Structure 1
């Protein structure tokens, strides 16, 4: 990105102001500067998954009535009602059973070898994920990322979809049954073809999930070189199929783990990175706080609080891992400091007693968490195709991010991560006097609450008060 001299001075002065700022008090005026001329990554969207039969939770597996099924779908995917998520991450199943929370494979039985004719099956259900995708697209979904946690067990070195194991045929991994790489590529493409023929488009295709971790559930191990082996083959298979599919990789268990795979993806006379559209990672082992070593788009495709009981009503108490402000900060840092283009929580909605979902469906009710409303502060107002723009604050406790949408509307998110109300003066370069700013507040007492509109003063600035421990999105309308 090239900046003019004026842009560079704008950024330098704002950074100096931030470094020399005095501590927060209710009487001090904090300055926030936004410059739409300095633009960064394009945003693809926000979302979650309903893998491992969590889609069935939405469709009444535990008794959720029809009216509440519609409500949770609207909260997740309808931007007029709820968050307006635009990315859904499906799990491509590898199981030959629906017991527990397993995801069904489209090739549940071994055909007899990697070169044998596969016996594919398609039930137009896909552990509830196919009807969910239909409903999500009807409400505004734009991206369907289908990702396999594992190849079917018979394609792997351990002959098991669970407990790690490698794909037969990748570098340093062979099987007595032969090389299953092409069969696995065909398998993944066939999954997308079944969706396409049934009226739903898979847009992005992945083949790994947390390849550094030999989980007791479905999973498959890989390093960067081994992933590169398969990416090159998958790209050729997709091209031959005629389907319009983008390739994602590799959903490392942490941001550092994904960074460690980049060298293998970049290596060789035919680098696999050239065939990738999106580099994907998770936030469990390490958070997305810096850009990955690639010029490809990057998504944070899974992260959640897996540590405690469901805490739906706390935006801020003590900075706990499931609190809304914690997740608002995670999203903002990933967008601003790591340059991600997409950010997905683990589960969108589920019947659970933990924080692994954004919305809880216990006792046949729909209970959005404060984490959900933190996501909605971004996803509702930062739409696909938006560009992150330069935004800086003069105080460390008031953090900022800002985006210009394709329709020209600017959405600026301010997080007050301090224990007192603060007064801010927001200056947006190029904003005309008399324009209207609409604020939306989320804190312990409010869920995306629309506040009174603010008129822009001469010079493109406006002033507002932000409550302690809260988040406000200012939308230039």
Structure 2
């Protein structure tokens, strides 16, 4: 798929009649939306380009300049593609940039935990710095800088890989000293380098999947140990004068992150008070319930890592990489877990797997149905939106709804069944005569705009959702 992907998305009008055909099932189904009952604020949607995946976008494997611009627009331009507003950068811990490693800003051991560090800044950061510049120019709101590990010399195993703990946290002493303050300084310096170079890091994290001793960069921690470091990091951020929010802890699954909450909430000086966002992943367990905190929560990484790249299946058999599967993951996380942000693992990459939303193999730009499922939310639910009360009377028609800061309403209807559903949608307070624009993604269409409907008395209109499809209705 070349540049024609954009035209293909928006110029399928001749086929719209097939979508708006008379429903083959359902009668008396209703959906109610009440903008007066509001829940969490939404920060946005996005992905990462860590471990040199940013370089894939910038032509590492030969992607031509015209397609580099295309994939950037698909990811971050809300008028072209998904309009992602969160980018998750990896703070490197390697003393090399070989293979897909992310280079550290302090590649050499300074000689001890209290020695003066020798920081290095290349204005490139494994391709992530120019990516952040390009993303901000297209509408990015949030840059989440997250370290998978401290540099190896700061850890108990003297290795950025294979687990190990940060030297100095509870029950993890090192002969080289306590490195907590040095690690906090290191993270803050990363944000400072970006700031001095004209790009703002808005959120700062220091762990990734701390329950898992991976063969790649990573660091172990429990909730109590994380809490110890958070207090040090918070003081360091405050002293720096940088306006950056602190996150923790990117547990490998939602249950794993919940298990860390006791440590974060404990003590006379609870570390949770210094956090702005609690982050968790969806791998070991999905975000289907609220974490034990009143802080914002993000599902900050999840992907289908099980099979080959499947770009064209919105629904085939309910597989882990299908678009409908991910539409449901996002809706459940927003509605049932109350998350404020939802991120896939990789946005775009040159790969043969489903670990990315967009594939760049053979110098082409090939968006997946997962990508368009994200876009059904992210294009129309913008930062600052509030989730609002929404309910369906039919189990096969699931619903979520949001009110944007500019007053626009976006309601997502997902048909889980094999037959077209027609439902009466009623939005409390919506005046009659308001145009409501539907957009559809399914096996046949990618965020395709359909014919607008007009609300009647009581804010009601008829919604038509084909089998195994997602339709977002946006008030305009």
Task: Using structure 1 for the length normalisation, give the TM-score.
Answer: 0.95
CA contact (8 A) 1:148 1:209 kept: yes
Q: How far off is 1:25 after superposition?
A: 6.2
The aligned residue for residue 182 of structure 1 is 181
Instruction: Check the 8 A contact 1:290/1:339 in 2, yes or no.
Output: yes
Aligned to 1:225: 224
CA contact (8 A) 1:29 1:422 kept: no
In the TM superposition, what are the counterparts of 1:48-63 in structure 2 within 5 Å? Answer: 48-63=47-62
How far did residue 27 of structure 1 move? 4.3
Paired position in structure 1 for 2:440: 441
Question: Is the 1:144–1:202 contact (alpha carbons within 8 Å) kept by the matching residues of 2?
Answer: yes
Aligned partner of 1:284 in structure 2 is 283
Q: Distance in 2 between matches of 1:114 and 1:140?
A: 40
- Aligned pairs for 1:43-442 within 5 A: 43-442=42-441
Q: Is the 8 A contact 1:440 1:451 kept in 2?
A: yes
Query: Gaps spanning 5+ residues in structure 1: where?
Result: 1-23
How far did 1:459 drift? 1.2
Q: How far has the Cα of 1:464 moved from its partner?
A: 2.4
Shift of 1:29: 3.2
- Aligned residue number for residue 454 of structure 2: 455
Q: Distance in 1 between the 2:57 and 2:412 partners?
A: 30
Q: What residue is the counterpart of 2:15 in the other structure?
A: none
Name the CA distance, whole Å, in 2 between partners of 1:236 and 1:74.
38
Supply the distance in 2 between the matched residues of 1:461 and 1:208 (Cα, whole angstroms). 47
Distance 1:290 1:229 in 2: 26
In 2, Cα distance between equivalents of 1:188 and 1:39: 36
> What is the RMSD of the two structures over their aligned residues, measured on CA atoms?
0.7
Instruction: Return the alpha-carbon distance in structure 1 between the equivalents of residues 288 and 254 of structure 2.
Output: 8
SS in 2 for 1:401: strand
How far does the alpha carbon of each residue in 1:82-130 deviate from its partner, in whole angstroms, 9 at most, with x for none?
0000000000000001111100000001000011110000000000000
Q: Is the 8 A contact 1:390 1:402 kept in 2?
A: yes
How far apart, in 2, do the equivalents of 1:67 and 1:186 lie?
40
SS in 1 for 2:292: coil
Deviation at 1:26, TM superposition (A): 1.1
Post-superposition offset of 1:148: 0.1
- Runs of 4 or more, structure 1, over 2 Å off, are none
* 3-state secondary structure, aligned to 2:457: coil
Q: Which runs of 5+ in 2 are unaligned?
A: 1-22
| Aligned position for 2:18 | none
Q: How many pairs align?
A: 454
Matches of 2:26 and 2:137 in 1, distance apart? 48
Secondary structure of 1:459's aligned partner: helix
Distance (Å, rounded) in 1 between the aligned partners of 2:28 and 2:63: 48
CA offset at residue 281 of structure 1? 0.0
CA distance in 2, matches of 1:457, 1:469: 27
Distance 2:352 2:330 in 1: 24
Task: Give distance in 2, aligned partners of 1:379 and 1:360.
Answer: 19
The CA deviation at 1:465 is 1.6
Deviations 1:245-274 (A, max 9, x none): 100000000000000000000011100000
